[in-house]
Amino acid sequence: MASPAPSTDRGIAWQTNRVPRALAVLAGGLAALAAMPLVGLPFVPATVVRAQVDQPSLCHPARTNRTEVAPARIRRAEKAIVSTFLSFSCPAPIEPAHTVLVTDAALVSSDAGVRRGLASLSARLAITSNAYARIGRIDFGPGARTMCGVINDPDEVALCLSGQGVDVPDPRQPDPAPTLSEAIRQAHIRLVRARDDDPPSPDNPVRAARDIIVLVAGAETLPDGVAEQAALCADIAPPLADAAAAGIEVRLACAGDGCATTCLADTARAAAGRGDAVVTWHEAVDELVGRAWASEARVWRLDVRESLNRGANRLGQPTDSRVWSVVPGSFDPPIPHDRESTALQWTLTQPMSKTVTLTYHVLSQMEHGTFTLRQSGEFSAVAIVQDTRGGFGLYRLNNPTIVVAGWGPFVAFLPRLGRTYSYVHSY
């Protein structure tokens, strides 16, 4: 690839240097986006990690980021290929996330929503791409069969979360039926033992693992009698307190109604020392996925928005006259686009560690001259980044020019036989 133009380097350097002062820039950028021609395009905030507008992104664009046009000189009837190359560096310490789910075996067998959440976790955690996320599961109560350690192997994680744990008790033996307090103690022991299991990182320092115990229970987890309920909650208070004292975060994921008002919830809040220690099961799954991906800072959502140049009036103001039209079906990756619109938007939601390339083809609507590709204006072409740590960044893209040489190629009109016309050339 050709090296970026000096103006590109200056633009990227401007953005990179401004990121530490991003609080004011982001506020102004968001206000400016509302006035862009792309205002009608949807921009849906993520649900996995709560990106905060007031937190600058840890991920900065590389100086090689650029948009290129090939060829840079075309005739009006020819196509130009527009390619944008984006890559980001996220130099932040790795924060491993280790979690053990302590699940009510009876609840798992009776609640389809809990089973769906467990089944979805394996794919959503994408363990193969995240060496610093580890998960285990311990069932408690009658019928309990799943007990797997804090693991990172994708196949073992899939078996564990599907209920076919890698450490399945022998069905010929009496049901071990571990109690809830015993399961919490086992989770505590396994998390402590796994603290040094994360691989070293050659590029980023690795902080101590964040350990989490998530109790997955419902109102039906408690026995019927009031005295029996009080006894169970008193029984789990010491192991929960011990886990919290060891630096393990305690959470209660409630499935169904009524759980959040039981003594289970009160005990979990008391051990954690926080009122937000009790969440719904669906919230717990989303938070677990987000925190696992936040182990290593990465770009997990990238929005690229641009407005193609439009003709200007005698005062230099843009009009409805188009300078460029996009060739239908030329977007890679594909995006929905109205061929009459000059507004473009790509949205990629995935952790990204490699260069992202966006391409499309344009045709000139002007007969000849030198034209910029994108509409003039500070925020007419931007890359909007959200990272796995909840940060937000807004970066301008460079604006290459294309020379349109006019109609072509030359066409020679020959005289008809028997006539005395001379040659006429049009171009």
For 329-393, the DSSP string reads: T--BS-----TT--EEEEEEEEEE-S-EEEEEEEEE-SSSEEEESB-SSTTSEEEEEEETTS-EE
Question: What local confidence, expressed as pLDDT, does residue 305 receive?
Answer: 95
Q: Quick check: 48 pLDDT over 60? A: no
- When pLDDT is cut at 50, 70 and 90, the band that residue 381 belongs to is very high
What torsion do the CA atoms of 126, 127, 130, 134 make, to the nearest 10 degrees? 130
Amino acid 6: pLDDT: 30
- Which one, of 347, 351, 384, lies nearest residue 49 by Cα? 351
Give backbone dihedrals phi and psi of 120, rounded to 5 degrees, phi first.
Answer: -75, -20
pLDDT score of 300 more than 90: no
In whole angstroms, what is the distance from residue 52 CA to residue 120 CA?
26
The confidence score (pLDDT) of residue 419 equals 44
pLDDT confidence of residue 165:
55
pLDDT tops 60 at residue 163: yes
Residue 19: DSSP 8-state: G
pLDDT band at 170 (very low <50, low <70, confident <90, very high): low
Please say whether the beta carbons of 113 and 216 come within 8 A: no
The pLDDT score that the predictor gives to residue 98 is 95
Least confident of 47-51, 245-249, 328-332, 401-405: 47-51
pLDDT at 97 over 60: yes
- Residue 351: predicted pLDDT: 67
Residue 5 gets which letter from DSSP? Answer: P
- Return left, alpha or beta for 406; rule: phi > 0 is left, psi -120 to 50 is alpha, else beta: left
What is the average pLDDT score of the chain? Answer: 80
- The most confident of the ranges 43-47, 86-90, 202-206, 247-251 is 247-251
Q: What percent of the chain has pLDDT over 70?
A: 79
More confident residue, 319 or 34: 319
Residue 34 has pLDDT above 50, yes or no: no
Query: Are the C-beta atoms of residues 393 and 12 closer than 8 Å to each other?
Result: no
Please report which helix (H) or strand (E) contains residue 83, including its range. Answer: strand 79-86
